[in-house]
Structure 1
């Protein structure tokens, strides 16, 4: 546990009571690093840019948008960042969507304190928290994968990039259009190819045509 004690957390939720509650649980676990707070997505982006955040505990919805809009970019810019979604949304409806976006775990706000602590420790020590509910969702998804549209595995941003490739745009053009670095677009392209199990833009175009 010693090697994991000095960790910087960012707690992102538009309700201060939720952030304070999670902070208390983190302190109960014995961590000694900083615990920062953010109440909007814009503050999340600013805080991650200004600080070396190890673990982000984030709600799904904010007054200024849905965290799905920023999670893929955060994982691209900060690949070592561990993200635990702590949300009031139904796990059965949203967990896989967030996992596909790159988060390390999904937890509902109705969870017991011990479950929250367990999720935090799993994300920190093992890099992943998968509840029994999400395990069932993943198993069901694998069993039915042959009938699913593979493009459903992609996030909204990844689909946007895919469409730009289909329109004949290159990495630099896409980067300029989306305000990203060129290597960030390349990383996203690699992730898309891995999710879809393809190796070329030709195969990508074929998938788009099929689905």
Structure 2
């Protein structure tokens, strides 16, 4: 599939400097692209409603977004839009989760310009993009058949709950944010502690800090 015709690309990131940098990179290499920008998930949805977007470059930590739920929402409402995650979150922990949820690629923000452009072009052409490091993880998991351990063993929803616990949110607040019952949140909290073999939120914070997991 050729890139030599006009494409609508939406860059959704709450940092203006990130949007500016990506815009420069795309304009220089895909001059036929029409660029749109959003600083919140609600703004991104408005643009998706108004325009036919071929590619959404999306940050995970978007105001108004709910982690994996963002991808599920987009896949249902705008199935023709391809999604490339662009994040500073650890690839080991997040890349495969978001691709399994429906994104077509995942790029870390520290990736060099050449590989960022490669990811954009591949996803626009209908392919899935993963870094060599993530591909290696997928292959090793497939060959070894080993169950994930530590933070990687948490389900997507358990990870959401863990992140909110670390930020100081209580059971009631988390239930409201995730639109779940308080009893369900309590169950998730118990599972998190059991899987990670910890006893309290203080140990949870220490474990995430040790793993260099951004929230």
TM-score (norm 1): 0.66
Does the CA contact (< 8 Å) of 1:7 and 1:31 recur in 2? no
Q: Is the 8 A contact 2:60 2:87 kept in 1?
A: yes
Which residue of structure 2 aligns with residue 141 of structure 1?
A: 141
Q: Deviations over 1:114-137 (max 9, x none)?
A: 111111111112421121011012
What is the alpha-carbon distance in structure 2 between the residues aligned to residue 46 and residue 153 of structure 1? 32
Match in the other structure for 2:171: none
The aligned counterpart of 1:31 is: 31
- After superposition, the C-alpha distances for 1:35-65 in whole angstroms (9 at most, x for unaligned) are 0000011111111111100000010102333
1:86 aligns with 2:86: yes
User: Any gaps of 5 or more consecutive residues in structure 2?
Assistant: 158-178, 180-215
Q: Counterparts of 1:133 and 1:98 in 2: how far apart (Å)?
A: 16
Deviation at 1:29, TM superposition (A): 1.2
1:13 aligns with 2:29: no
Aligned twin of 1:200: none
Residue of structure 2 in register with 1:59 after alignment: 59
Q: Please state how far the C-alpha of 1:32 moved relative to its aligned partner.
A: 1.5
Once residues 78 and 63 of structure 1 are traced to their aligned partners in structure 2, the CA distance between those partners, rounded to angstroms, is 20
Mapping for residues 93-108 of structure 1, pairs under 5 Å: 93-108=93-108
Q: Cα RMSD between the aligned structures?
A: 2.5
In structure 2, distance between residues paired with 1:75 and 1:27: 26
Q: Is the 8 A contact 1:5 1:30 kept in 2?
A: no
Instruction: Report the CA distance between 1:84 and its aligned residue.
Output: 0.5
Q: TM-score, normalised by structure 2?
A: 0.64
